Amino acid sequence: MLLGVNIDHVATLRNARGGVEPDPVKAAAVCEHNGAASITTHLREDRRHIKDRDVYTLTNTLTTKLNLEMAMAEDIQKIALQIRPYSICLVPEKRQEITTEGGLDVAGQVDKVIEFIKPLLDAGIIVSLFIDPVKEQVEASKKTGAQFIEMHTGAYAEAFGKENEEAEFQKLKQAAELAQQIGLKVNAGHGLNYENVHRMHEIEGLVELNIGHSIISRAVFTGLPEAVSKMAELIK
């Protein structure tokens, strides 16, 4: 499994004072040097953390891969087509939410997703759909032509160490199996941390885990190089 580091929280901290530090672009380079196989960032419609300029700079400075998280919004699609990241991950987005709260409802809007991702696929950008680990969402994702799904691991993370951990974990395992059977590649992420990440090894064939909050939180105490290399070691 590979580690993708989400650097959005670095931008949140920077924006708290409206200045230039800490610089998410510099953080991305540190992540790359310490075991990240890709850098994920979410250009939100309200630009609350990462700004357009960050994304343009990352495009020119990254030595690994840029995975751009985005909602189904035309202006963000335009930027994606301009910068051509290695991959995009389509996520639902609500203005009031603190973080991406649930998976994208692909099953309820297959045609809309097909239409939205077509220009991105035509441009050679890999498309991933961030979905809950549910059969109908996995099957609908296949219909869209996207190559990847990213399974939302939030419910598993929330249940970790509690009675319903096994049930939530099995949903991920079964969804990953189904996805691979029908020809989708599978990533996972959201809420994964240094304690709960180990069970991802029990799911065969996962390509990449996208992790942000726990890594940036640990970095406050240990520094970013240690936080990233420790997570990279855990998921290798």
Positions in the binding site for ligand PXP (CB under 6 A): 6, 8, 42, 69, 89, 91, 99-100, 130, 150, 189-192, 210-214
Nearer to ligand PXP, 89 or 140 (CB): 89
Nearer to ligand PXP, 25 or 43 (CB): 43
8 Å CB contact between 195 and 215: no
Q: Of the listed 9, 49, 190, 208, which one is catalytic?
A: 190
CB of 193 to ligand PXP, least distance (A): 8
Q: Of the listed 32, 69, 150, 208, which one is catalytic?
A: 69
- Nearest-5° angle of CA 24, CA 223, CA 56? 10
Nearer to ligand PXP, 30 or 210 (CB): 210
8 Å CB contact between 77 and 70: yes
On the question of a cis peptide bond just before residue 22, with omega within 30 degrees of 0, the verdict is yes
CB of 178 to ligand PXP, least distance (A): 19
Query: Rounded to an integer, what distance in angstroms lies between the CA atom of residue 144 and that of residue 104?
Result: 13
| Catalytic (active site) residue 204 | no
CB of 74 to ligand PXP, least distance (A): 20
Q: Of the listed 9, 42, 49, 152, which one is catalytic?
A: 42
Nearer to ligand PXP, 24 or 212 (CB): 212
| Catalytic (active site) residue 9 | no
Residue 81: count other Cβ atoms within 10 Å of its Cβ.
Answer: 14
Longest Cα pair distance anywhere in the chain, in angstroms? Answer: 48
Query: Rounded to an integer, what distance in angstroms lies between the CA atom of residue 32 and that of residue 16?
Result: 25
CB of 160 to ligand PXP, least distance (A): 13
- Nearest-5° angle of CA 160, CA 168, CA 150? 100
| Residue numbers annotated as active site | 42, 69, 190
